[in-house]
């Protein structure tokens, strides 16, 4: 993922007020919701070129980083699950399998220069979702969804870095990449989310123990506040004594779903500790998401008002939508709070879309504006698609486990031989190190100086 210190202005704002041909969305009609999701999906998929002869399956072209392709395939698994439409399945399966890498753990050598723990985890969470919804299994000789999610977990658990800060995952996997000393919340949150869901799916206590450990660390170090707000990250260089307080919607979302999975599991076994604790945490995190809503419409509070959402950040509402919806299945008592928010947000998102080519729509970034704001891309499309289809959550079955019909084949030892990947031994050039050092200085300046990337 890209470091959040490179703001980009939203392009095309000039068109904002001149065009207002919003699409229609009738939330009382399953057909209407599916149609809107299909149109947003078509618009999103038009950015994907990996199916073309000579192109690489699984990658999105620039400016999209590798992680966002994993996130996109995850959203297309959701799309299939909500709508039953198989249009994108073959490309989704091919794209995911093309990027598993030689150790079948989503660490393809081509991505070494950009891959952090969070990037790897977005692919891993796509595989986890595939297992939970019985998305069609790959042929037997290919890696299986559950085993891929376990492989990501197995490579990440040994990266627990307790030399500083009492633990946690670093943002980066490789020391030669920028930001190696940063401990960011999304990397740690993705690990928590996956550990909780793997525990629930397999019933293996080891995953629950890691989820508990990660949650406790996040709170202890202050990446989560006492009132359940999640901040961007902190740094090894200062032993995590100060926090970068910017808030992103996907951090709240990734912990919300993990906490709901822990509560859900606490209802069927005694492996996740006191269920009242997970109830309180789930409710607290949900309450904390209010910072991402304006008049009940979802917005990216740290970058929409100032027009500085970068390419990554324009996709974050997709994940908050996705994880809020799934929370209603795991913790049904959240439904009355969550659904009205997803309804208003979907209606507002529809107003941000214009008709596109063929059976597609072009959706903008800021749903709070009531019209198309001219900002376009994979993230905008994915967010609109996820918030539309999340309104079908009551029509689909909840996430499965291996005891309730999940068919994906696991491998508790998947990927573990690459916990210390040979890639980590790759030569690090002086230039790379200097780059990382410079970035570290910038991060520290950001944390200590309270720069633009704090939420006022």
Per CB under 6 A, does 239 bind ligand NAG?
yes
List Cα–Cα distances, 213 to 98, 124, 244, in angstroms.
Answer: 33, 20, 22
Please pick, from the candidates 49, 142, 287, 420, the single residue that binds ligand NAG as defined by CB under 6 A: 287
Q: Write out the two tokens for 405.
A: 């019909």
Among candidates 239, 208, 237, 210, which has minimal Cα distance to 222?
Answer: 239
Site string for ligand NAG, 142-181 (x = CB under 6 A): ------------x----------xx---------------
Cβ 53 to ligand NAG, closest distance in Å? 11
Per CB under 6 A, does 227 bind ligand NAG?
yes
CA–CA gap between residue 375 and residue 373 (Å, rounded)? 6
Q: Write out the two tokens for 298.
A: 């979802």
Per CB under 6 A, does 356 bind ligand NAG?
no
Q: Write out the two tokens for 6.
A: 């490179």
Please pick, from the candidates 20, 86, 110, 420, the single residue that binds ligand NAG as defined by CB under 6 A: 110
Q: Which stretch binds ligand NAG (CB under 6 A): 242-250, 347-355, 375-383, 399-407?
A: 399-407
Q: Write out the two tokens for 244.
A: 């970068």
**Bridge pairing between strands 297-298 and 353-355:** unpaired
CA–CA gap between residue 161 and residue 110 (Å, rounded)? 25
Helices (H), 112-267: 117-132, 145-156, 185-202, 205-221, 249-266
**Measured from the CB atom, is 138 or 399 closer to ligand NAG?**
399
Per CB under 6 A, does 398 bind ligand NAG?
yes
Q: Which stretch binds ligand NAG (CB under 6 A): 121-129, 326-334, 339-347, 437-445?
A: 326-334
Among candidates 22, 1, 5, which has minimal Cα distance to 367?
Answer: 22
**Measured from the CB atom, is 42 or 352 closer to ligand NAG?**
42
Are 375 and 314 spatial neighbours (Cβ–Cβ below 8 Å)? yes
Q: Write out the two tokens for 370.
A: 């009531």
* CA triple 257-259-262, angle to 5 deg: 110
**Bridge pairing between strands 353-355 and 233-235:** unpaired
Per CB under 6 A, does 264 bind ligand NAG?
yes
Per CB under 6 A, does 102 bind ligand NAG?
no
Per CB under 6 A, does 70 bind ligand NAG?
no
Q: Which stretch binds ligand NAG (CB under 6 A): 1-9, 16-24, 350-358, 394-402?
A: 394-402
- Provide φ and ψ at 16, rounded to 5°: -50, -50
Please pick, from the candidates 267, 359, 394, 451, the single residue that binds ligand NAG as defined by CB under 6 A: 267
**Measured from the CB atom, is 103 or 371 closer to ligand NAG?**
103
Cβ 136 to ligand NAG, closest distance in Å? 13
Per CB under 6 A, does 91 bind ligand NAG?
yes
Number of residues located near ligand NAG, criterion CB under 6 A: 33
In the complex, residue closest to ligand NAG by CB = 398
Site string for ligand NAG, 175-214 (x = CB under 6 A): ---------------------------xxx-x--------
**Bridge pairing between strands 233-235 and 297-298:** unpaired
Q: Which stretch binds ligand NAG (CB under 6 A): 19-27, 125-133, 262-270, 302-310?
A: 262-270
Radius of gyration of the chain (CA): 20
CA 433 to chain centre: 28
Among candidates 30, 76, 24, 82, which has minimal Cα distance to 50?
Answer: 76
Question: Interface with ligand NAG by CB under 6 A: which residues?
Answer: 51, 56, 59, 90-91, 98-99, 108, 110, 154, 165-166, 202-204, 206, 227-228, 239, 264, 267, 270, 284, 287, 290, 329-330, 332, 398-399, 402-403, 412
């Amino acid at each position: 993922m890209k470091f959040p210190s490179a703001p980009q202005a939203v392009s095309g704002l000039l068109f904002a007020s001149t065009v207002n041909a919003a699409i229609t969305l009738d939330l009382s009609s399953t057909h209407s919701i599916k149609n809107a999701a299909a149109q947003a999906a078509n618009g999103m998929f038009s950015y994907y070129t990996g199916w073309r002869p000579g192109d690489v399956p699984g990658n999105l072209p620039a400016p999209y980083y590798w992680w966002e392709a994993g996130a996109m395939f995850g959203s297309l698994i959701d799309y299939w699950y909500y709508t039953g439409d198989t249009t994108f399945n073959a490309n989704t399966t091919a794209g995911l399998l093309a990027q598993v890498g030689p150790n079948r753990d989503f660490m393809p050598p081509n991505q070494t220069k950009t891959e952090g723990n969070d990037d790897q985890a977005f692919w891993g969470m796509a595989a986890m979702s595939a297992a939970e919804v019985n998305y069609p299994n790959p042929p037997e000789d290919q890696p299986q969804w559950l085993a891929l999610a376990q492989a990501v977990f197995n490579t990440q658990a040994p990266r627990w870095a307790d030399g500083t800060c009492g633990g946690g995952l670093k943002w980066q996997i490789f020391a030669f990449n920028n930001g190696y000393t940063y401990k960011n919340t999304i990397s740690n949150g993705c690990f928590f989310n996956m550990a909780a869901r793997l525990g629930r799916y397999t019933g293996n206590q080891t995953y629950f123990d890691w989820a508990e450990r990660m949650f406790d660390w996040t709170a202890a170090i202050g990446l989560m506040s006492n009132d359940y707000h999640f901040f961007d990250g902190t740094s090894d260089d200062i032993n995590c004594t100060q926090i970068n307080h910017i808030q992103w919607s996907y951090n709240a979302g990734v912990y919300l779903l993990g906490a709901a999975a822990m509560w859900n599991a606490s209802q069927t076994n005694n492996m996740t500790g006191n269920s009242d604790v997970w109830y309180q945490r789930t409710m607290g995190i949900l309450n904390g998401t209010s910072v991402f809503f304006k008049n009940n419409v979802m917005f990216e509070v740290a970058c929409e008002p100032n027009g500085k959402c970068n390419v990554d950040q324009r996709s974050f509402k997709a994940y908050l939508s996705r994880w809020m919806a799934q929370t209603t299945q795991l913790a049904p008592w959240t439904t009355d709070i969550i659904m009205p928010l997803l309804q208003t947000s979907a209606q507002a998102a529809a107003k941000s879309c214009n008709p596109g080519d063929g059976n597609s729509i072009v959706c903008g970034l800021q749903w709070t504006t009531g019209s198309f704001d001219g900002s376009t891309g994979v993230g905008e499309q994915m967010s609109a698609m996820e918030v539309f289809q999340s309104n079908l959550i009551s029509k689909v079955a909840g996430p499965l486990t291996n005891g309730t019909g999940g068919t994906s084949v696991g491998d508790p030892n998947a990927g573990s031989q690459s916990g210390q990947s040979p890639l980590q031994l790759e030569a690090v050039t002086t230039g790379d190190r200097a780059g990382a050092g410079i970035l570290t200085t910038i991060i520290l300046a950001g944390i200590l100086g309270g720069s633009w990337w704090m939420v006022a």
